Amino acid sequence: MVTIEQVQQKLNLKVLTMGEGSTPISSAYTSDLLSDVMANGEEGGALITIQGHKNSVAVASLIGLNTIILCNGRLPADDMVEAAEEESIAILVSQENQFTVSYKLAALLGLCN
């Protein structure tokens, strides 16, 4: 398992909120459809998405995700940042696309051969 802070550093992600940086990330789920994330995301995981709005934080909080990684350089709305800070959810931003971030995070989590 790796921490939020380690993911941020190794994937060279911009920090918008850090949540609890020493919190481990145990899995990840990539989707832009929030109902899909609710059905398939795992507690303790990260959401990889381009959805930079407050509802992403609500879904993450509901199922216990501790990190949201926004891809393609997308920046969140101000109310998303505020909600994430209240819920101690990290928001990290990558210039890379979802496929690339998903692969790199899976490798970091030891899920790739």
Task: Determine the Cα–Cα distance for residues 78 and 37; give it in Å rounded to an integer.
Answer: 22
Contact 5, 25 (CB under 8 A): no
The whole-number pLDDT of residue 113 equals 67
In the structure encoding, which two tokens stand for residue 78, read together?
Answer: 């101000």
Amino acid sitting at position 72 = N
pLDDT tens digits, one per residue of 46-103: 999 999 999 999 999 999 999 999 999 999 999 999 999 999 999 999 999 999 999 9
Domains in the chain: boundaries: 2-108
pTM: 0.96
Report the chain's terminal Cα–Cα distance, integer Å.
Answer: 16
Contact 66, 45 (CB under 8 A): yes
What contacts 93, CB < 8 A, 6 or more positions away? Answer: 13, 14, 16, 69, 70, 73, 74, 75
Domain 2-108 carries which CATH code?
3.40.1390.20
Three-state DSSP class for residue 46: strand
